[in-house]
Amino acid sequence: MTAARNLLKQAGNALLDFVYPPVCLVCRAEMETGCLCEVCSRGFKPVLPPFCDRCGVPIAADQIVCAACAMSAPPFAWTHALGRYDDTLMHAIHRLKYERKTALARPLGLLLASSIGSCTRLVSEEYPAFDCMVPVPLHPSRLRQRGFNQSELLAKVIAQEHGWQFDNRNLKRVRFTRPQATITAYSERLANILGAFQTSEPLAFQGKSVLLIDDVLTTLGTVRECARVLRNAGAKRVCVAALARG
């Protein structure tokens, strides 16, 4: 019975592909299969060094650490992004996040998973794997408005690809905040996000190496606060990975 259902499903998908050929959800070019074409994925621009030696953000060539890390050491060990938040990658993220093209989460998540695996500051002989993948949570009201958490969709793909545990239950957003990117003053960004996250299970992260997943890294205020809460909950190491760095 299951085999018959699978055959019917495959036949239905083939008919749909014949009537409505698959297209890239970013540039609308026709494809044989999938939803992100090779031209678009090759158009993602990498984030180039030099990087802050503490957190991984791009800095000037005559600097060793960024201004934020010079004031206080970050609660995370490293941040990593697939590419720069402009042109094709920015458009792909907008299509996923604001136009509800959630099918893009899988190919984008696979690309991010591959780049995580090749980043020696994240995965190395000393740290060959993460104990769990944690998406940056949305406030319940924003989740109801959007209908999905794009960071959660990405984290699921990455966790499955690497065989790491996925945890979307034990880090919660408990306070609604203004978008960090709309606030320019550093002190105001800190005040805006402080206390916005809590762990729901006190021992969930005890002694664990955690990879925090976000879609875009801009001011880093949100992931700093998430990482602080995770470290206070006993996580031994927290790293951050995202699709893009703004």
| pLDDT tens digits, 49-107 | 999 988 888 999 999 999 889 988 999 999 999 999 999 999 999 999 999 999 999 99
Q: How many CB atoms lie within 10 A of CB 49?
A: 9
For residue 11, pLDDT beyond 90: no
pTM recorded for the entire structure: 0.88
Per-residue model confidence (pLDDT) at position 27: 96
For residue 10, pLDDT beyond 50: no
Confidence of residue 190 (pLDDT cuts 50, 70, 90): confident
The angle, 0 to 180 degrees and rounded to 10, between the axes of the packed helices 105-117 and 150-162 is 50
Which range (20-24, 103-107, 189-193, 215-219) has the least confidence?
20-24
Confidence of residue 219 (pLDDT cuts 50, 70, 90): confident
Using alpha carbons, select from 116, 199, 107, 207 the residue that is nearest to residue 163.
116
d(CA 110, CA 136): 18
Confidence of residue 9 (pLDDT cuts 50, 70, 90): very low
DSSP character string of 187-233: HHHHHHHTT-EEESSTTTTTT-EEEEEEEEESSSHHHHHHHHHHHHT
Confidence of residue 15 (pLDDT cuts 50, 70, 90): very low
Per the DSSP assignment, residues forming a β-bridge with 132 are 165, 210
For residue 33, pLDDT beyond 70: yes
